[in-house]
């Protein structure tokens, strides 16, 4: 059932050419029957039909189709209703000209869950019924207008819809096909509702069950039609003699019959009034005809297309009309009406073909844009997404604490400093003096390189006790002060230095067993392991770390001495002010012959180590790297004394932020004497680098690249739009027959995906490969960074952006009501 209540519609509302095309139209139609809407051109009959069928919008009122109520044009709701309920026959066919008859008809079946065989059966049936079976495989463009109209009718009938909307379905058909088509529609109307728009009253009177007459957007008549009698065919091609008046001349020379129609004299043309003046002459076996009247002479026969028949004009009565049967079972729509994958692919390929020279233009744009974007992003990545190995030189676990003295009494300041240290530097805190060491590395594999050394700078020294077994890439943990673990970070920066020695250490294992020398304290330490803590760090004894920077304070605890030389010094344990000195110093003190109570006493150690009088009780080996061996508490006094004098130190922690707050909070009570400054130098280095890059801003290259990219997108947009407009007729056909917009958009997205795939992907990959190759040659001094994940991200971005740009111009067309596309 279709019910319309106060349906109101305007064209160009509020403009000078405003047209109130439907004026609160109300009517109700049953589930079955053939309803004919009659009216002159411009009366609003086609607009009413389009609005009922969901092809056009309306201003107010309601449309009810079975249990679906429409109070406004809602595209998704209307699309679903159209596909499930309606079949359309258009006056102007709206067929896909480059496709076959069968494809155009089968397209309407995409909304049903049918196999290809089932679809073919229905298509064959409807084409046979309309006399179009032999044209099944022909392209629509090869058919005549009448044949195309029958294909349009077949497309509507093949669905066996609940409601058929037919706009002048017989306007382009000859009389025989008109009657055949109307008979089929009449037969179908016994099972469904057929709403027919026509201006032919004779057709309406003979076939319609109900006639609605419309004028100026208003229904002026609505009545049931009792179709009786016969329909007289109006075939003007032939002359039916028994329908005409006859006059006869019969003599011995000629038998002449003159036939003429006898219409109302008032309706007769001027030339048919009065007598005819005709001269007939028979000579040499030929008939000569002469007339002085202004009339046209015609010869009948099959060649002329006009035949005289001694019969009455044929008529079609109701019984004959009902002899034509049409029976296709109804189906239930099971999905949205989309294009099959094969046709989406075909449509995408056709779109590319239709681009012509524009295709080469788009390809050139995509190639140039891809190359420029790769170069610009590589430069941006180099400056902003930096490699920390190139920026950070200190372990990120270290917090540097500096105490900035306030002017005042020095003794009081020292007292307050000691008090602050006692509060903060507890036994749980791992601290050390500030460091700035260098490691010298040589290579003994080649005689020519014996005197060639390379340096590793910019690193932190951390107590090896924090290192775990799982942190190691290769080797083992240090066991004493003569062993160390180096992080692979430093190997990487070492290799980047370009030094000939560095190039010989090409993997982590090559460092194992290597003995390096510290520059200030000349300590020789063996690398026994390589870690992967992602820090610029060497892991050593805390006193080796202290000695790396302060050569005059090469100290070692008696505990370290026992660990390093368990056989020779396993029993040594120092107490109080007892010390050991290296063998060279021991000899010096011997020559001085300064003895007391059987022990050597020196005050030189006091000056060097800031200790009270020390008692030298023995000597330590030279290769230990230490000049003095002291009890652990004495070594801590030395480190603390240095920290006190320097007013700065470093703390190793896993909680950097918490540690910074800890030292600052404790410093609040000492604001009168000094200001506490705690920070992560590693983070400061990163922040400084980022700030410098931020200040550099956008350079001209970035601006040009962005401008080119934006301009490219604009040009692609208008190129795609131009192509879509060129194919607007095809898009209109898809929308009129209910193909889902998403299905059509897929074709345009696939089109752009194809072009992006064979332009952007090769351009990005090749350009990134060239960048990597150039950047690997130090002598060129061209440094760009474009990692694989950025290439992948750029490819994805190009696909996404290009697809969005490709559907924008088409989306507007697809979301316009179908009837407005026709207008």
Beta-bridge mates of residue 163: 86, 193
- Percent of residues, the chain, with pLDDT higher than 90: 22
For 524-559, what is each residue's pLDDT tens digit?
899 999 999 999 999 999 888 888 877 667 889 999
- Secondary structure (DSSP) of 777-820: -GGG-------HHHHHHHHHHHHHHHHHHHHHHHHHHHTS-HHH
Nearest to 364 by CA among 112, 82, 110, 712: 712
Start-to-end CA span in the chain (Å): 29
Going from the C-alpha of 553 to that of each of 135, 547, 590, 635, 639, the distances in angstroms are 105, 6, 22, 10, 9
Contacts 24+ apart (CB under 8 A), 349-355: 349/751, 350/98, 351/723, 351/727, 351/747, 351/748, 351/751, 352/751, 352/754, 352/755, 354/723, 354/726, 354/727, 355/719, 355/723
Above 70 in pLDDT, residue 364? yes
Beta-bridge mates of residue 646: none
Ranking 301-305, 623-627, 628-632, 772-776 by mean pLDDT, the lowest is: 301-305
- Say which residues have a Cβ less than 8 Å from residue 469's Cβ, sequence separation at least 6: 477
Beta strand spans in 568-665 (E): 578-582, 595-596, 599-602, 614-620, 628-630, 648-652
For 604-647, what is each residue's pLDDT tens digit?
666 666 666 778 888 889 888 888 899 998 888 888 888 888 88
Q: From the CB of residue 723, how many other CB atoms can be counted at a distance below 10 Å? A: 23
Residues 27, 21: Cα–Cα separation, whole Å: 16
Above 50 in pLDDT, residue 596? no
Yes or no: say if 354 and 751 are a contact pair by the CB < 8 Å rule. no
For 652-662, what is each residue's pLDDT tens digit?
999 999 999 99
pLDDT for position 228: 66
Report strand pairing: 33-38 vs 210-215.
parallel
Ranking 77-91, 278-292, 446-460 by mean pLDDT, the lowest is: 446-460
Going from the C-alpha of 82 to that of each of 23, 66, 88, 443, 738, the distances in angstroms are 24, 13, 9, 84, 7
pLDDT, greater one: 774 or 337: 774
Going from the C-alpha of 168 to that of each of 171, 449, 647, the distances in angstroms are 5, 99, 100
- Secondary structure (DSSP) of 340-361: -HHHHHHHHHHHHHHHTHHHHH
Q: Is 71 helix (H, G, I), strand (E, B) or coil?
A: coil
Residues 376, 704: Cα–Cα separation, whole Å: 10
Report strand pairing: 483-487 vs 537-540.
antiparallel
Residue 110, classified by CB atoms within 10 Å of its CB into exposed (0-12), middle (13-18) or buried (19+), is buried
pLDDT, greater one: 262 or 416: 416
Residue 486: both structure tokens together: 């180096």
Beta-bridge mates of residue 123: none
pLDDT for position 447: 60
C-alpha torsion 596→599→603→609, nearest 10: -160
For 418-462, what is each residue's pLDDT tens digit?
899 888 888 788 888 776 678 888 766 666 566 667 788 889 999
Instruction: List the alpha helices (DSSP H) in 170-269.
Output: 175-188, 201-207
Q: What's the chain's length in residues?
A: 823
- Say which residues have a Cβ less than 8 Å from residue 525's Cβ, sequence separation at least 6: 481, 482, 483, 484, 515, 516, 517, 518, 540, 544, 625
pLDDT for position 778: 67
The architecture (CATH level 2) of 2-232 comes to 3-Layer(aba) Sandwich (3.40)
Q: What is the mean pLDDT of residues 685-701?
A: 71
For 96-139, what is each residue's pLDDT tens digit?
888 899 999 998 888 888 888 999 999 999 999 888 999 999 99
Residues 98, 347: Cα–Cα separation, whole Å: 11
Residues 586, 629: Cα–Cα separation, whole Å: 12
Yes or no: say if 523 and 554 are a contact pair by the CB < 8 Å rule. yes
Read off the pLDDT band of 718 (50, 70, 90).
Answer: confident
Q: From the CB of residue 490, how many other CB atoms can be counted at a distance below 10 Å? A: 22
pLDDT for position 655: 92
Yes or no: say if 519 and 440 are a contact pair by the CB < 8 Å rule. yes
Residues 136, 583: Cα–Cα separation, whole Å: 110
Yes or no: say if 429 and 422 are a contact pair by the CB < 8 Å rule. no
Report strand pairing: 308-309 vs 239-240.
parallel
Instruction: Sketch the domain layout of the chain as residue ranges.
Output: 2-232, 239-313, 341-388+697-822, 397-431+574-679, 434-549
Radius of gyration of the chain from its Cα atoms, rounded to whole angstroms: 51
Above 90 in pLDDT, residue 485? yes
Above 70 in pLDDT, residue 317? no
């Amino acid at each position: 059932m279709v019910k319309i209540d106060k349906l109101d519609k305007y064209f160009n509302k509020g403009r000078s050419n405003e047209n109130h095309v439907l004026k609160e139209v109300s009517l109700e139609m049953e589930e079955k029957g053939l309803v004919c809407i009659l009216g002159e051109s411009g009366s609003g009959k086609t607009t009413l039909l389009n609005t009922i069928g969901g092809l056009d919008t309306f201003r107010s009122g309601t449309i009810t189709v079975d249990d679906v109520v429409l109070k406004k044009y809602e595209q998704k709701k209307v699309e679903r209703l159209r596909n499930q309920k309606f079949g359309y026959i258009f006056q102007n066919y709206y067929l896909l000209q480059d496709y076959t008859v069968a494809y155009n008809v089968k397209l309407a079946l995409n909304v049903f869950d049918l196999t290809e065989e089932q679809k073919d059966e229905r298509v064959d049936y409807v084409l046979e019924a309309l006399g179009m079976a032999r044209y099944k495989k022909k392209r629509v463009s090869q058919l005549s207008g009448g044949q195309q109209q029958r294909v349009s009718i077949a497309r509507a009938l093949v669905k066996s819809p609940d409601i058929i909307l037919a706009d002048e379905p017989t306007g382009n058909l000859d009389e025989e096909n008109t009657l055949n088509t109307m008979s089929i529609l009449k037969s179908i109307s016994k099972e469904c509702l057929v709403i027919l728009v026509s201006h032919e009253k004779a057709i309406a009177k003979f076939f319609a069950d109900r006639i609605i007459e419309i004028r100026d957007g208003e229904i002026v008549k609505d009545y049931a039609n009792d179709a009786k009698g016969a329909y007289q065919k109006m075939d003007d091609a032939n002359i039916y003699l028994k329908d005409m008046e006859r006059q006869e001349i019969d003599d011995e020379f000629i038998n002449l019959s003159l036939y003429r129609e006898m219409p109302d004299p008032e309706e007769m043309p001027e030339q048919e009034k009065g007598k005819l003046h005709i001269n007939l002459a028979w000579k040499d076996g030929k008939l000569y005809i002469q007339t002085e009247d202004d009339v046209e002479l015609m010869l009948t026969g099959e060649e002329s297309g006009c035949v005289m028949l001694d019969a009455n004009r044929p008529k079609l009565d109701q019984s004959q009309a009902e002899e034509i049967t049409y029976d296709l079972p109804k189906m239930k729509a099971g999905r949205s009406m989309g294009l099959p994958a094969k046709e989406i692919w075909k449509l995408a390929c056709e779109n590319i073909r239709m681009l012509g020279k524009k295709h080469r233009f788009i390809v050139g744009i995509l190639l140039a844009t891809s190359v420029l974007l790769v170069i610009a992003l590589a430069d941006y990545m180099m400056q902003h997404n930096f490699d920390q190995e190139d920026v950070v030189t200190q372990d990120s676990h270290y917090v540097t604490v500096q105490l900035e003295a306030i002017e005042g009494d020095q003794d009081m300041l020292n007292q307050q400093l000691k008090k602050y240290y006692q509060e903060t530097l507890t036994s749980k805190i791992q601290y050390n003096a500030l460091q700035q060491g260098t490691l010298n590395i040589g290579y003994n594999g080649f005689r020519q390189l014996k005197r060639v050394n390379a340096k590793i700078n910019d690193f932190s020294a951390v107590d090896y006790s924090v290192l775990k077994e799982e942190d190691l890439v290769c080797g083992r943990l240090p066991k004493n002060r003569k062993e160390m673990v180096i992080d692979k970070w430093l190997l990487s920066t070492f290799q980047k230095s370009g030094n000939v020695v560095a190039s010989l250490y090409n993997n982590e294992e090559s460092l194992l067993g290597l003995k390096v020398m510290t520059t200030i304290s000349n300590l020789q330490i063996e690398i026994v392991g390589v870690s992967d803590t992602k820090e610029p760090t060497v892991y050593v004894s805390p006193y080796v770390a202290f000695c790396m920077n302060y050569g005059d304070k090469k100290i070692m605890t008696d505990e370290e001495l026992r660990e390093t030389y368990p056989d020779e010094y396993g029993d040594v344990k120092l107490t109080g002010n007892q010390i050991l000195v290296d063998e060279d110093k021991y000899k010096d003190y011997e020559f001085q012959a300064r003895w007391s109570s059987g022990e050597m006493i020196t005050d030189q150690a006091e000056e060097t180590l800031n200790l009270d009088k020390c008692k030298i009780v023995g000597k330590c080996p030279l290769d230990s790297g230490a000049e003095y061996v002291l009890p652990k508490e004495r070594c801590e006094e030395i480190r603390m004394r240095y920290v006190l004098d320097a007013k700065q130190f470093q703390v190793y922690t896993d909680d950097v932020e918490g540690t910074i707050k800890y030292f600052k909070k404790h410093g609040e009570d000492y604001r009168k004497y000094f200001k506490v400054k705690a920070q992560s130098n590693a983070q400061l280095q990163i922040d400084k680098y980022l700030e410098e890059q931020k200040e550099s801003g956008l350079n001209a290259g970035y601006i040009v690249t962005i401008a080119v990219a934006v301009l490219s997108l604009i040009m692609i947009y208008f190129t795609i739009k131009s192509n879509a407009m060129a194919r607007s007729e095809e898009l209109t056909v898809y929308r009129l027959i209910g193909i889902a917009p998403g299905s059509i958009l897929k074709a345009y997205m696939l089109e752009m995906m194809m072009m992006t795939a064979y332009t952007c992907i090769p351009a990005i990959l090749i350009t990134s490969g060239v960048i990597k190759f150039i950047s690997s040659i130090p002598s060129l001094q061209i440094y760009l960074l474009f990692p694989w994940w950025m290439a992948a991200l750029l490819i994805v971005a190009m696909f996404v952006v290009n697809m969005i740009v490709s559907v924008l111009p088409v989306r507007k067309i697809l979301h316009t009501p179908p009837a407005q596309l026709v207008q």
